Amino acid sequence: MNPINAPAAPDFKEQKPAAAANIATARKWLLRWAPAMLAGVYLSCALFVDPRGEFPLNDDWSYSRSAFRFAQENRMQVDEFAAPSLVGQAFYGGLLARVFGAYFIVLRLSTLVMSFGTALLLWIILRRLNVPPGIAGTAVLAWIFNPIQFCLAFTFMTEVHFLFFIVLAALCFLLFAEREERRYLIACGAAMGYAFLIRQTALLFIIAAIVTILLEPGRTKLLERLKSVLLLGATFTPFAAGYWLWIQGQGGSTPASSRKFELLRHMTAEQVVGNALGLLFYLSFMLVPLWVYLIPRLIHMWNHSNPTARTIWLFTWCSIPCFGLWWFHFHYSRSPYLPSGAFHGQMPFLLNVLYDTGLGPLTLDPTYYGPPPTPGYPNLWLAITLVTAVGGFLLGMLATLDSANKLERSISPARRSLRFLALLSFAAIAAFEIVFSHTQEGGLFDRHLLIAAFPLTLFVCLRAGKANTPVGLRSTSFCSASSAAALGLLVCFSITATHDYLAWNRIRWELGDKVLRQGVDPLAIAGGFEFNGWHNYDTFRARGNIGKIFYWWYDDPIYLITMEPQEGYQVLVCKEYYSWLHRRHLPLYLSKKTEIR
């Protein structure tokens, strides 16, 4: 070829600024349209999952009763069964029921909106602190598609509603730390106060906020810090005091709430160790996409940390997950996997929302107490167990590794304050759940760990989100692709398993309603935990001593709804639903006792 006619070599010096400009434009577009994109994600998920159905789920049969009672009778009453304070959630749930009607779908959609609001607030907090868009986006998407959070977003359970107000309080605290304007501190105290009206553990967050303000000697004088503490406490106190006065007027704390303190004297070392190790593995599972994405940042932190300290942390965080694997295997691997078991030999180690067969508790008696009738995948969960062990190690290193460099010392005071608040909040919530989760009540419920997952997510993002990553484009790209793959798997699992959870519950309630229409006494139907609680709780309350009754609220189970045929019962109806997760049809049975006394 004639050199004169040869194409000119590309001018990479001119292309690089153009490429950088394109990336900057794309980032601006992403930041501007992030709220709309998040709304689109939630709308798409709702269409796939299909939240329709006039029935409660999990414990929200009791919470819905309080909301509907407030809507219809204009009075607040919390069942003896309920441990959370609940009145805040029942209040606005009741207001929604007044406007849109006393329908479960109204309450369910309110939770979905709260979940969207929480994700949006988390995004705003991270971006306001200049956490890189990649880390912020990964953290928010990992939060949304954390299977436990995702499933709870389609119920009227308290965790999602509670976290919305806690995350709102965190944003207000950040604004106060940035601008030192007292109105933001008042808003923070009010948000935490309302969160207290949903779950009492908001008290731990307000204590963490007070300690954070007091331990900022470099920012303001002691007198100013004391004034801030008094203002925060004065804003929070009316909510707590009002609830205390109301609960005294109702005769004191509910039996379910008091029982947590009564069981403290029965806690054993085995329960505490199991709860602590379970917490580590579950938090790792919830944050898989995030810690994978942050591996290059961890490498950078490792390279700039104190050699002695990093060796100690390396040994510590290698030992703890390995001990956890051994501990759970040694104690529980010889027992069959039962949904009702407090601990198991591999992931899922705990219980309540996440099971080896999907999402949502199999609240059918006796299905709940036997081996799951739906397909299980022990080899897959073994692999997940090992992955979460690796994640526990990496999260521990991200949280504790010392980055003794200029970047660590030059972070803004507001960032440092919020990071310290997140650390204290996480430590307080983790300690509370470890100590107050007794096996007599089922042990440590995985959904309670969602409350600890938020401050941990915030802390890890703020700790790793400032470091440069001079570890090579190939390493960063590989971790980003791996994080995206993990996120994709969680998206598929969360959507399909939550869809199945709603699908089989529709059939369960359809079968139960069919028997009721025939004039059968609901006390003679074992339709599952929510079904019997919804229909029979008031009957048991009228009998007295309801606070000491912890079973499923039926008398003689002449009719039974299960996922497998039962001995001594004749199958009357078998209805199937198509499981998106297991890709097969699965049955539910309505049976009648063959010998009736």
3-state secondary structure of 578: strand
Give the C-alpha separation, 257 to 322, whole Å.
35
Give the C-alpha separation, 420 to 389, whole Å.
26
pLDDT of res. 3? 45
Per the DSSP assignment, residues forming a β-bridge with 570 are 592
pLDDT of res. 108? 97
User: What is the pLDDT confidence band of residue 2, given thresholds at 50, 70 and 90?
Assistant: very low
Of 314 and 18, more confident: 314
Distances (CA, A) of 233 to 169, 213, 247, 537: 13, 12, 20, 38
Give the C-alpha separation, 152 to 144, whole Å.
11
Mean pLDDT of 184-193: 98
Question: Which amino acid, residue 572?
Answer: L
pLDDT of res. 255? 87
Structure tokens at 76: 């607040």
Residue keyed to tokens 């940042």: 297
For the cut 70, the answer to whether the pLDDT of residue 15 exceeds it is no
Nearest to 41 by CA among 92, 112, 110, 106: 112
pLDDT of res. 579? 97
Structure tokens at 220: 């303001």
pLDDT of res. 466? 66
Question: Which amino acid, residue 209?
Answer: A
- Strand segments, DSSP code E, in 226-382 are 354-355, 358-359
Of 495 and 17, more confident: 495
Strand arrangement of the beta sheet that strand 525-526 belongs to? 525-526, 559-562, 584-593, 569-579
pTM: 0.93
Give the C-alpha separation, 436 to 443, whole Å.
9
- The conformation of residue 446, written as its DSSP 8-state character, comes to G
- What average pLDDT does the structure give for the chain? 91
Q: Would you say the C-alpha torsion 129, 130, 136, 139 has a positive or negative sign?
A: negative
For the cut 50, the answer to whether the pLDDT of residue 274 exceeds it is yes
Nearest to 301 by CA among 467, 177, 181: 467
Alpha helices in 180-254 (DSSP H): 182-196, 202-214, 222-249
Give the C-alpha separation, 524 to 526, whole Å.
7
Nearest to 193 by CA among 181, 183, 205: 205
CB atoms within 10 A of CB 363: 22
Surface-to-core class of residue 123, CB atoms within 10 Å of its CB (0-12 exposed, 13-18 middle, 19+ buried): buried
Residues with Cβ within 8 Å of 230's Cβ and at least 6 positions away in sequence, in order, are: none
Per the DSSP assignment, residues forming a β-bridge with 589 are 562, 574
Distances (CA, A) of 140 to 27, 119, 494: 16, 6, 15
Residue 583 CA neighbour count, 13 Å, CB half? 2
pLDDT of res. 595? 80
Mean pLDDT of 2-20: 51
Nearest to 458 by CA among 309, 266, 283, 326: 283
pLDDT of res. 548? 67
Give φ, ψ of 77 to 5 degrees.
Answer: -145, 130
Give the C-alpha separation, 534 to 551, whole Å.
13
Q: Which of 99-108, 409-418, 526-535 has the lowest mean pLDDT?
A: 409-418
How far is C-alpha 394 from the chain's CA centre?
Answer: 20
Of 408 and 205, more confident: 205
Find out whether 459 and 422 touch, Cβ atoms under 8 Å. yes
For residue range 478-526, what is the model confidence (pLDDT) as tens digits?
999 999 999 999 999 999 999 999 999 999 999 999 999 999 999 999 9
Nearest to 294 by CA among 483, 432, 147: 483
pLDDT of res. 28? 67
Find out whether 461 and 126 touch, Cβ atoms under 8 Å. yes
Cis before 289? omega within 30: no
CB atoms within 10 A of CB 282: 27
In the chain, % of residues over pLDDT 70:
90
pLDDT of res. 294? 95
Give the C-alpha separation, 469 to 298, whole Å.
9
For the cut 60, the answer to whether the pLDDT of residue 22 exceeds it is no
Surface-to-core class of residue 583, CB atoms within 10 Å of its CB (0-12 exposed, 13-18 middle, 19+ buried): exposed
Distances (CA, A) of 202 to 191, 198, 236, 361: 10, 8, 10, 26
Surface-to-core class of residue 161, CB atoms within 10 Å of its CB (0-12 exposed, 13-18 middle, 19+ buried): buried
Of 473 and 52, more confident: 52
Mean pLDDT of 447-462: 97
- The conformation of residue 560, written as its DSSP 8-state character, comes to E
Q: Which of 365-369, 454-458, 490-494 has the lowest mean pLDDT?
A: 365-369
For the cut 50, the answer to whether the pLDDT of residue 213 exceeds it is yes
Cis before 339? omega within 30: no
Find out whether 146 and 450 touch, Cβ atoms under 8 Å. yes
Give the C-alpha separation, 535 to 516, whole Å.
10
- Strand segments, DSSP code E, in 269-367 are 354-355, 358-359
pLDDT of res. 31? 66
